[in-house]
Amino acid sequence: MSALVLGPLLRHVDETSASIWVETDGAAVVTVRAGDQQEHVGRTRTFRVHGHHYALVHVDGMTKGGKYPYTVEVDDGSGAEQVWPEPGSPYPPSLIPTLDVEKPLRMAFGSCRTAVEHDAEGNKTHGVDALRAYALRMAGVTEATEGGDPDPGGVRWPDLVLFLGDQVYADETTSAMREFISSRRDIEQAPWTELQDYEEYAHLYLLAWNDPANRWLLSTVPSAMIFDDHDIRDDWNTSKAWKDEMEATDWWHSRIVGGLASYWVYQHLGNMTPEERNADPIWNRVEARDAFDPDGEVDISEALDAFADRADQEPTSYRWSYVRQYGTQARLVVIDSRAARVLEEDQRSLLDEAEMEWLDDQMRGDVDHLLVGTSLPYLLAPGLHYVEAFNEALSGGAWGARGAKLGETLRQGVDLEHWAAFQDAFQQVARMTLETSRGQRGRAPTTVTFLSGDVHHSYVSEAQPTRREARSGPPLKSRIIQAVCSPIRNPLQREWRYATAIASYGVAGPLGHVVARSAKVPDAPLRWRLARGPWFDNNLATLEITEPGLRIWWATGDVEGDDHAHPRLRSVSEVTVP
């Protein structure tokens, strides 16, 4: 029988339908039966990529606000076998919770998660997996730490978990991943212990998603995802010099093609609505399976590789960004801040022209809350913001050729490549944000809230227009918030925590403004201050729409005694935005 390798992952869910993703170990027909009487049935054949077999099953006909238990069956031609839920599972039945846009939205979010063992050694080197602690609390396997329950009224499952980048680490591999790489090639040769191709990415996702507790959570909470640099490689698309250096190697092409191809399969496919999938060129290949293979399992390897190669070389050929609408209470706009970059020094931008136009259409009001998911924090610590802006000007020749060379070295050496280091894009989005918050793009939301990760510490900032900007237009009607949750499981070493705090919130403050002015960096139309943080625990954050604002809290996992298998959830911080 064809066994279930990974999944099920519950991906896009709306009021009447859901998409469930699985990987099997052979060609098969996959059936999902949902409902108390298993009355809602979705069925499809697998498709094949480089010897791996996948299915995305669409189940329809449900009603909004329902909770439908479901099972998964796999049939390789010798008869169907139920493969989920697994026999003897300690976790509750997996459910499809259909969307109810009239219910206040609750959404978990975070970024940066490595896959190491959930034992004493793994917790010593990487801390407790906050996602796993969250899953165990949701499942009722554990209770919250005494006095630290982030949800004292009883656990209400989130309507969505949003992963904001670095779901997998293709460049900083674990011992288990290095063992797999060593079994198939010489790690003394490039790309050494980093990932080489699709096959290695497939194994990396297996390690990331096969823990039973996390696997259960992903089977019952809808998820949305976007990549960041480590999904491909540290500093991915930092600058043209960086990209030129990578493309000069003999291993980068296989890496970027394998990374983007596997991202489409494992992450992006489930981000799309059914209508978006129907317009997707690769999904159309899957749906045309009967024209490719008389047995019905189409092999899209060649087409997917060609697509990934083109998406890298011609970023305007494909959009990884997407939007989800939750009635009038919220719009979630998730931005690709990596693949859509323009890297020429005379026209650098975090988003290409087409992507910026798309974002401009989404940055509008007529919702209670505009939520903007971007892996890179839009608002860094103010001083660090201006240090990065100065570095962009320096690298672009503001202080001559020698300064440009120094600027590029610093840019790659200390990761100066956030929104602040792409001033053109930062300024454009600032204008969109101000216009939306002033009610110039439809009814002003209560908040415009940026949700981010990447920086391996968490914090909350709030922005206002500068005095000059305030005099140039109507007053703000929205609160502008930056909420960061990073990491889920990959903490900074303690000495780096102090260095990060001092550099970001101390030294960089006065230094950043001085050097930025020296290079004639334009002032931001916004000024912002740290409202809470920073803190460095492994965290998963949860945002809930309340009356009339937002509640956001961060939770981590604690090990009691030597029970590393059952970490307990504890609240780290909480912010209410009225």
pLDDT 10s digit of each residue in the chain, 578 long? 569 999 999 999 999 999 999 999 999 999 999 999 999 999 999 999 999 999 999 999 999 999 999 999 999 988 999 999 999 999 999 999 999 999 999 999 999 999 999 999 999 999 999 999 999 999 999 998 877 888 866 667 899 999 999 999 999 999 999 999 999 999 999 999 999 999 999 999 999 999 999 999 999 999 999 999 999 999 999 999 999 999 999 999 999 999 999 999 999 999 999 999 999 999 999 998 755 555 679 999 999 999 999 999 999 999 999 999 999 999 999 999 999 999 998 899 999 999 999 999 999 999 999 999 999 999 999 889 988 999 999 999 999 999 999 999 999 998 999 999 999 999 999 999 999 999 999 999 999 999 999 999 999 999 999 999 999 999 999 999 999 999 999 999 887 887 788 777 776 667 776 777 777 888 899 999 999 999 999 999 999 999 889 999 999 999 999 999 999 999 999 999 98
Q: What is the tally of structural domains in the chain?
A: 3
Q: What is the DSSP string of 227-263?
A: --GGGT-TTTTS-HHHHHHHHTSSSHHHHHHHHHHHH
The long-range contacts involving 185-193, CB below 8 angstroms and separated by at least 24 positions, are: 190/249, 190/250, 190/251, 191/249, 191/251, 191/255
Same domain, 365 and 290: no
Same domain, 115 and 105: yes
CATH of the domain at 456: 3.30.750.180
Whole-angstrom CA distances from 393 to 15, 362, 389, 406, 536 are: 48, 29, 7, 11, 31
Q: Is the dihedral of CA 347, 233, 482, 506 positive or negative?
A: negative
CATH of the domain at 12: 2.60.40.380
Centre a 10 Å sphere on the Cβ of residue 477 and count the other Cβ atoms it contains.
Answer: 15
Q: Is the dihedral of CA 532, 373, 162, 237 positive or negative?
A: negative
Strand segments, DSSP code E, in 116-233 are 160-163, 223-225
Euclidean distance between CA atoms 236 and 230, whole angstroms: 8
Same domain, 5 and 94: yes
Whole-angstrom CA distances from 386 to 173, 509, 575 are: 33, 8, 26
296 phi/psi in degrees, rounded to 5: 95, -15
Last residue in a domain, options 290, 318, 346: 318
Euclidean distance between CA atoms 405 and 299, whole angstroms: 46
Euclidean distance between CA atoms 179 and 182, whole angstroms: 5
Let me know: does 481 contact 139? Beta carbons within 8 Å.
no
Same domain, 66 and 131: no
Same domain, 561 and 521: no
Same domain, 286 and 367: no
Position 507 scores a pLDDT of 64
Euclidean distance between CA atoms 156 and 472, whole angstroms: 44
Same domain, 63 and 197: yes
> Comparing C-alpha atoms, which of 373, 519, 395, 382 is closest to residue 449?
373
> Comparing C-alpha atoms, which of 123, 127, 168, 155 is closest to residue 221?
155
Centre a 10 Å sphere on the Cβ of residue 188 and count the other Cβ atoms it contains.
Answer: 8
Let me know: does 91 contact 141? Beta carbons within 8 Å.
yes
Same domain, 211 and 324: no
Strand segments, DSSP code E, in 151-244 are 160-163, 223-225
Same domain, 143 and 283: no
Same domain, 77 and 158: no
Same domain, 416 and 480: yes
* Domain containing residue 141: 101-163+537-578
3-state SS class at 80: strand
Euclidean distance between CA atoms 102 and 313, whole angstroms: 42
Same domain, 405 and 267: no
Last residue in a domain, options 267, 286, 318: 318
